[in-house]
Chain A
Amino acid sequence: MKCRVCREPAVIEVRRHNAGFCQGCFLTHCRNQVERVIKEHSMIAPGDRVLVAVSGGKDSLALWDILLRLGYSTDGLYIGLGIEGYSEGSGGYAKRFAAEKGAELLDVDLPRDYGYDVKTGAAADHRVPCSACGLSKRHIFDRAALDGGYDVVATGHNLDDEAAVLLGNVLHWDLAYMARQRPVLPGGDGFPRKVKPLVRLGERETAAYCVLSGIDYQVEECPMSVGNRQLGYKDALNAIEERSPGTKSAFYSGFLERGAELVAHADVDGRESLHPCSKCGAPTTSRETCAFCRLVERATSEQRRRITVGTP
């Protein structure tokens, strides 16, 4: 297989583009895709300070690398989730990347800074681990962005992530969620702007970007995510993609171009009914404390109870 651009031997094929790329042309292709999506959706304005959500995995490190190369002013934020046998490794990848690039990495650790880990938080708050993780990350990223004076938070959600979420929302006809499935979520009312510059790249491409750029990332899957619903949707989409390359991209981009406006009426984001959390001040629809503060309270009570009764 030859590179579509320069006709040198290809190292990766992107079946939905019916194309192969050599190393150099592939890296350029990825950076061009990200630059295009940032401009198309007005994600980052000149001079904006960007906080990149960094997990140590392929997507967030590829994103940070591309934004740095495109010349954006970025810092990273890594959140240690306290997942035994996993979080130590993921933090190491994030820190080594930042050190190699001479970039600033902020570091929040759930056990150290908030007194709980994801597993305990999930059990105490009666959530699945991925839900407790998502809630914690959203709160901490929002807070760090606002406290640090960042204009925008960039996350590494890729085409596969977005297509899987869309499939889940369609399967449940969840119009309100569909109406808010956009690559840019506006800031204001106590929230930072949030952008997803990787939505044009599949996760096979972000992984290949890291391999071809020499970025070392955590390949191992989070043990808490085993069997989660999103993985099932990705598997189903990949089975379709195998037979019909381009389906995932058509599904997601078609939604943005033609589907989103059909469900826009269902966008009730609840901002008009927000109040500051009585404990941390973050916006919440609750009259008292926000969901994050309630999770922290329940998780730390559980930790205290365990210590008192001497159970591990």
Chain B
Amino acid sequence: MGGVKVLLRNPRREVEVAGPVGVLPLLNKLGYKREAVLVIVDGALVTGDSTIAEGSEVEIRPVISGGAVEAGAGSPLQQPSSS
């Protein structure tokens, strides 16, 4: 069966950890905040109290995006055209 394969993003890479493993211990071990990621196990979203079985394929998908900075709230007039 092997361990648990974990796909990480930004940059895309793969690590393997021993299973079974809880979602939150896995995030802690890899240094992720749970507010900042989704955990997808064998193609399905799982909650933080789930346990990941050995042999599973996991994706830790970051959800934080930077986007175009809009000083203030992004009003067309928040960065006046003369600025």
**A residues touching B (Cβ–Cβ < 8 Å)?**
1, 10-13, 15, 20, 23, 55, 57-59, 128, 130-131, 133-135, 137-138, 142, 155, 157, 160-162, 165, 169, 174, 176-178, 180-182, 185, 191, 194, 202-204, 206-208, 211-212, 219-222, 225-226, 228-231, 234-235, 238-239, 241-242, 269-271, 277, 282-286, 290-292
Contact = CB atoms under 8 A, between A and B. Distances in A.
Contact of B38 (A191, A194, A208): A208
A134 B69 contact: yes
Contact of B73 (A180, A228, A271, A282): A180
B64 A203 contact: yes
A87 B3 CA distance: 36
A211 B40 contact: yes
B73 A165 contact: yes
Contacts of B73: 157, 162, 165, 177, 180-182, 185
Given A238-B33, A286-B82, A138 B76 contact: yes
A291 B81 CA distance: 5
Nearest to A2: B47
A299 B64 CA distance: 30
Contacts of A285: 80-82
15 contacts: A1-B49, A11-B45, A11-B47, A12-B45, A23-B45, A130-B67, A137-B68, A162-B73, A165-B74, A203-B63, A204-B38, A207-B63, A239-B33, A284-B80, A284-B81
Given A12-B45, A219-B61, 20 more contacts: A59-B65, A134-B68, A134-B69, A134-B74, A142-B76, A160-B64, A161-B67, A165-B74, A177-B78, A180-B77, A181-B72, A181-B73, A203-B65, A207-B63, A225-B67, A228-B66, A230-B67, A230-B69, A285-B82, A292-B81
A230 B79 contact: no
A198 to B, nearest CB: 12
A235 to B, nearest CB: 8
Contact of A286 (B68, B76, B77, B81): B81
Interface in B19-54: 33-38, 40, 44-49
B81 A219 contact: no
Contacts of B83: 291
B1 interface: no
